[in-house]
Structure 1
Amino acid sequence: MAHELYDEVMDIEDTLDEMFKKSNDHFEFMKMVSLMKHKFLKYCGDKDKKNMLFDFVVILDPQMKLDMIQYGCQKVVDLMEDLTEEKYKEMVANLVDEVKAEMQLLITEYEILYQIGASNLIRTENTPKEVRSSNCSWKAKFEKFRGFGNKSEFEKYLVYGVEPSEDNFDILQRWKVNSARYPTLSKMAKGIFVVPVSTVTSESAFSTGGRVVDPYC
Structure 2
Amino acid sequence: MRKNAFHNLSIVDGSFRTCPSDDEWDKAWKIAKFLKPFYDITTLFLGTQYFTANLYFHGVWKIHLRILEDMKDDNIVISDMAKTMKEKFDKYWDCYNIVLSFVVILGPRYKLQFVEFSYRQLYGTNGTKMVMDLRDKLYSLFDGYLHATNYEAHNMVENASSSGANEKVRDADIAGFDTFESQISGSIDSKSQLDMYLEETQFDHNTHMDLEILQYWESNCGHFLELSLIGRDIMSIPITTFASESAFSIGG
With the shorter chain as reference, the TM-score category is: 0.5 to 0.7
The one-letter amino acid of 1:98's match is D
- The question of 1:176 aligning with 2:218 is answered yes
Comparing 64-73 and 50-59, the one that deviates more = 50-59
Which residue number corresponds to residue 67 of structure 2?
16
Q: Deviations over 1:90-142 (max 9, x none)?
A: x4443222111111111111112222799xxxxxxxxxxxxx9xx9xxxx9xx
Shift of the alpha carbon at 1:59? 0.9
Q: Over alpha carbons, which structure has the higher Rg?
A: 2
TM-score, normalised by the number of residues in structure 2: 0.57
8 A Cα contact 2:218 2:228, kept in partner? yes
The one-letter amino acid of 1:152's match is S
Which residue number corresponds to residue 104 of structure 1?
139
- The question of 1:59 aligning with 2:105 is answered yes
5+ residue gaps in structure 2? 1-51, 154-180
TM-score, normalised by the number of residues in structure 1: 0.66
- CA 1:174–1:72: 2 relative to 1, 3 Å: same
- The question of 1:196 aligning with 2:238 is answered yes
Which residue number corresponds to residue 72 of structure 1?
118
Q: Deviations over 1:131-177 (max 9, x none)?
A: x9xx9xxxx9xxx8xx7x22111000011011112231101111111
Shift of the alpha carbon at 1:30? 2.6
8 A Cα contact 1:69 1:96, kept in partner? yes
Comparing 165-174 and 33-42, the one that deviates more = 33-42
Which residue number corresponds to residue 128 of structure 1?
none
The one-letter amino acid of 2:83's match is S
8 A Cα contact 1:116 1:184, kept in partner? no
The count of corresponding residues between Structure 1 and Structure 2 is 169
Shift of the alpha carbon at 1:208? 6.6
Which residue number corresponds to residue 154 of structure 1?
194
Q: Deviations over 1:160-207 (max 9, x none)?
A: 0111122311011111111111010011111111111234x3598589
8 A Cα contact 1:111 1:184, kept in partner? yes
Shift of the alpha carbon at 1:16? 1.9
8 A Cα contact 1:20 1:34, kept in partner? yes
RMSD across aligned C-alpha pairs, in angstroms?
Answer: 3.1
- The question of 1:114 aligning with 2:124 is answered no
| Whole-Å separation in 2 of the counterparts to 1:73 and 1:28 | 27
The one-letter amino acid of 1:154's match is L
| Whole-Å separation in 1 of the counterparts to 2:98 and 2:120 | 17
- CA 1:3–1:34: 2 relative to 1, 3 Å: same
Shift of the alpha carbon at 1:35? 1.3
Q: Deviations over 1:67-100 (max 9, x none)?
A: 122113323432xxxxxxxxx4xx4443222111
